[in-house]
Amino acid sequence: IKKAALNVFNRYYKLDGLEEIVTQFNNGLSLEVSDTMSAGLYVRNLKKMVGLADVIKVVNDSESPEAIASAVEFILEGLHLNKRLNKTRVEDKIVYRR
């Protein structure tokens, strides 16, 4: 499943086009995601990251908070699978950081 997710991610995105996102993590940003987190919280977290809204539009043209939440997780996981972000499971949450 991880390889399939990586392949799909790499079809949509080129890593050099995501450096602005990765740099924010390199500068100390971390994001928590969880199955229990509301989609609205994902949207609020989106505002913490410069450029993420534009990156999301590549895979999601919906304004639905649920669709945005899915796109955020897809992008974070893709960056993790490309070894650009670390992923740590903490209880019922996943933390992405550098």
pLDDT tens readout for residues 17-58 = 999 999 999 999 999 999 899 998 888 887 888 999 899 999
User: pTM, whole model, 2 decimals?
Assistant: 0.91
Query: Count of domains in the chain?
Result: 1
Dig out the tokens for 81 from the structure. 């699978």
User: Mean of the per-residue pLDDT values for the chain?
Assistant: 93
DSSP-derived letter for residue 84 is: S
- Segments forming the whole domain that contains residue 39: 2-97
Structural contact between residues 84 and 75, judged by C-beta atoms closer than 8 angstroms: no
Written as one string, the DSSP assignment of 11-62 is HH--GGGGHHHHHHHHTT--EEEETTS-HHHHHHHHTTSTTHHHHHTTT---
